[in-house]
Chain A
Amino acid sequence: MESEIFDVVIVGSGIAGSVLAKTLTQAGKRVLLLEAGLQAGAELRPEEAFATYQHYVETFHDKAIPATNGPYPDIPEAPSPNVLQIQAATPYYTGYLVQKGPLPFASDCLRAPGGTTLHWLGNVPRMLPNDFKMKTLYGQGVDWPISYEDLVPYYELAEREIGVAGDVAAQRGPDMGRDDYGADYVFPMLEIPPSYQDQVWKLRSQNLTVMLDGEPYVVDCVSMPQGRNSIPNPRYRPGAIVWDKQIGRFVIDHETPTYPVTGSLWSPYTGERCEGNASCVPICPVQAKYNALKTLKKADQRRLTIVTQAVASKLLIDRQTGEVTGIEYKRYRSLEDPTYETHTATGRLYVLAGSALENPKLLLASDAANSSDQVGRNLMDHMVMLAWGLFPEKVYPYRGPGCTTYIPTFRDGAFRKDFAAWISPLDNWGWSWPTGAPGSDVSTAVGTLGLFGKALRDYIADRVTRQALLHFECEQLPEPDNRITIDPQYIDVLGNPRPVIHYDASPYMRKSFAAAKKVATQIFAANGIEDFTEYKPSDADYVTWEGNGYTFEGAGHIVGTHRMGNDPKTSVVKPSQQCWDHPNLYLVGCGNMPTLGTSNPTLTMTALTFMAAESILKQLEGVRQ
């Protein structure tokens, strides 16, 4: 590898790295992709891909509590956070993340070929136009250096790449409507059918007026756009994404007659439709759910070199010019054998496409890109407050994708001056998240209530089928002290640093938990739902506000540790996503997002990655920017 010069060296094969590998190779560039995970996971030929993936599915079936990363290899040489290791008492140093507190950071991601898209849920709502102007409109956080309008064409590319199923007309809400998508725009595939329980929720929740701080809010329930296969929309104008060198933009070439649904890696006839496995997190057994390996497989393989088990450990930098001269990586032998060799990858341009935990870690370890002192700062996540109860009638949860309908009502409003906005997905999987149901219901029925036989079966049939879960994904703002640092005391088996995390919930967040709880109570009451929500002081992320306690969970939406901006003093990358400090280094991924909004971040991050791909191609081709 040392002797070869590539146009671009990319670190990480998640969705950002895979989109770059595909678009850059298809535009004729030679790409080296370094991936920390195991070689088996990067096998894209049908037989090997099938064997690896079946192993993941079998591991999922084998683990009593698979959580999010359970199906995938736990690699000592490239560790991932594990949500099952989160503890209430900080600081603690066990696990991959070094949790300095005061609160533990409760989200994870996956270091494997395909990245966290292997276990993501696949919800892909766009951000709202106002999300990009938080400072101007609400005096909170920062404004983005780009607007919603700037991002629209790239959202369309991202929706094409992921293969979004959804109903554009249903994307209503404060600050969102048909005009924000364009009059004729449709998603590639028709909406995933809403669950039976969504329909029950809607009967008594649609247009319900709830009161908050004396203000009325009308609840709306709308269809969730999703990255999983449904029926191609005949009105969608399909086509390949191609690089138009003349105008320096990606365009969709409308030659293909119908939208080509992308099935599994091993067969185009598997995963053509969502089959209702109800296990999107942690794994879709048929790959009807999008994952980044589908994109990686579409790269021009003649121009793509993938090196796996290759953990980037240091950027080599010419301190005179600021140019990156190579990326040092440690190539380990196997899961069991951490023996490694150190290599250097070289190219004209370099891109870090790791998560918002890994990118800043590598930058800090390399003393790179940090003249602003912003690397690792502004760590954000959706702080997820859950509310659960029992419907008066059976709604038959534990079926279908995790979420098919959401409440957009509190995604935007004047209240954002005072407390965080949130999106409320209606959950299709009962109480599995908060209580470990339905296994916990069986334990209670047998061990506590003394039920067996038909009485036990009737209890489960009555109780589990009525479980309702509503959740509130509250938008965390950028704060400099919520951050990742590194410390030579804390290293992994390859000697690479582990992320050291400082994390807390501000009053702005705590106030939103109190507000969301008031809304939950009113929605539950209108639906006749008996409230079983319980926040315990022993919960890992238990916080109080005005004398009341609330528990939040991590959303897995790890964002903001190397943000983009217009000012090199306060941001790490330019709007082009090139580092201010290094002319041949780009950062992509959720770390670039200056604020989080209330959307699941993958769609927006993917749109930004297409934008970055254009900047990279223009730089390679000598186009002035």
Chain B
Amino acid sequence: MTNRLSVFIDISSYLTGFGAVDLHGTGMGPTYLATVEKATSAETLSFFFETAAQILRTGAGDESAINAMIAADLFPVSCFGGLAQNIILMWYTGQWPPAVAASPSLAQARNISPDAYVQGLVWTAADTHPPGAKQPGYGSWASPPLGTR
């Protein structure tokens, strides 16, 4: 794994509230990093990753310290063109940038890829699965989801 991908996954973990293993498990990490790299100027990207790496290094695993630094130096839309917020939306919805805002019409709005939709974290966060994929089986909807009972 490249250093940049490693930083991307680690900072994404703090941004999304999902563990690094969960993020790796989606299989989307390299695709999402490439998406970010393609859509962002080299200069902004470099500042973003420097800041992210520094936050991770300084925080040294202290979650509340890291969150405070993210809130101050990474999350605001004024930082790096709102990159951090778009990264969160990408992990949750599989879209870059939020497709509806970026597309000429609703009908033309696209996800990053069909897989990106299927791997959207919003469904996991909501204790369900993406409609039309990862189907939980006949009658599963009659009980609370597995893991919540």
Interface residues of A (CB under 8 A from B): 57-58, 60-65, 67, 70, 74, 82, 84-85, 193-196, 199, 230, 273-279, 283, 285-286, 394, 396-401, 404, 428-429, 436, 438-439, 441-443, 446-447, 450, 452-458, 460-461, 464-465
Contacts and interface: CB of A to CB of B under 8 A. Distances in A.
A276 B148 contact: no
27 contacts: A63-B109, A64-B109, A74-B107, A82-B107, A85-B105, A193-B139, A196-B142, A230-B138, A276-B141, A277-B132, A277-B135, A394-B127, A398-B126, A399-B128, A399-B140, A400-B141, A404-B141, A428-B141, A439-B122, A442-B122, A446-B89, A450-B71, A450-B75, A452-B88, A456-B88, A457-B17, A465-B126
B48 interface: no
Contacts of A455: 17
A57 B132 contact: yes
A283 to B, nearest CB: 6
A447 B85 contact: yes
Contacts of A230: 138
A556 B1 CA distance: 50
Given A64-B109, A453-B14, A276 B85 contact: no
Interface of B: 14-18, 67, 70-71, 75, 84-85, 88-89, 92-93, 95, 98-100, 103, 105-107, 109-111, 113-115, 117-118, 122-123, 125-129, 131-133, 135-145, 148
Most B CB within 10 A of own CB, among A455, A457, A461: A457
A274 B92 contact: no
Contacts of A283: 132
A400 B138 CA distance: 9
B137 A276 contact: yes
Contacts of B141: 193, 195-196, 276, 278, 399-401, 404, 428
A438 B126 contact: yes
Contacts of B93: 64, 439, 442
Nearest to A199: B142
Contacts of A74: 107
Nearest to B115: A61
Most B CB within 10 A of own CB, among A274, A278, A464: A278
Contacts of B128: 278, 396-399
Given A62-B114, A276-B138, A398-B123, A452 B92 contact: no
Given A62-B117, A64-B99, A275 B138 contact: yes
B107 A67 contact: yes
A64 B127 contact: no
B26 to A, nearest CB: 14
Given A64-B99, A399-B140, A452-B84, A285 B133 contact: yes
Given A196-B141, A461-B127, A61 B136 contact: no
B142 A195 contact: yes
A355 B123 CA distance: 35
Given A63-B111, A196-B142, A399-B129, 18 more contacts: A61-B114, A62-B111, A84-B107, A85-B107, A193-B142, A278-B131, A278-B135, A279-B132, A394-B127, A396-B145, A442-B92, A452-B16, A452-B85, A453-B67, A454-B17, A456-B16, A464-B125, A465-B127
B95 to A, nearest CB: 6
Contacts of A276: 135-141
Given A196-B143, A457-B16, A275 B126 contact: no
A606 to B, nearest CB: 25
A27 to B, nearest CB: 36
B138 A60 contact: no
Nearest to A69: B107
A396 B125 contact: no
Contacts of A428: 141
B88 A61 contact: no
A624 to B, nearest CB: 49
A406 B15 CA distance: 40
Contacts of A465: 126-127
A498 B3 CA distance: 57
A398 B148 CA distance: 15
Contacts of A194: 142
B126 to A, nearest CB: 4
B137 A275 contact: yes
A332 B14 CA distance: 54
A197 to B, nearest CB: 9
B135 A452 contact: no
B139 to A, nearest CB: 5
B17 A396 contact: no
Given A62-B113, A276-B137, A442-B92, A457 B142 contact: no
Given A196-B142, A276-B141, A464-B125, A458 B17 contact: yes
A70 B106 CA distance: 11
Contacts of B98: 443
Contacts of A458: 17
Given A277-B132, A452-B70, A457-B125, A64 B143 contact: no
> Across chains A and B, which 9 residue pairs bring their CB atoms closest together, nearest first?
A400-B141, A457-B17, A61-B114, A279-B132, A64-B99, A64-B109, A279-B131, A464-B126, A460-B125
B85 A446 contact: yes
Contacts of A195: 141-142
Contact of A64 (B85, B95, B132): B95
Contacts of B18: 457
B136 A399 contact: yes
A398 B75 contact: no
A396 B131 contact: no
Given A193-B142, A276-B140, A461-B126, A452 B131 contact: no
Contacts of B135: 275-278, 285-286
A461 B125 contact: yes
Contact of A65 (B100, B131, B139): B100
A446 B148 CA distance: 25
B10 to A, nearest CB: 13
B94 to A, nearest CB: 8
Contacts of B88: 442, 446, 452, 456
A64 B95 CA distance: 8
Nearest to A430: B126
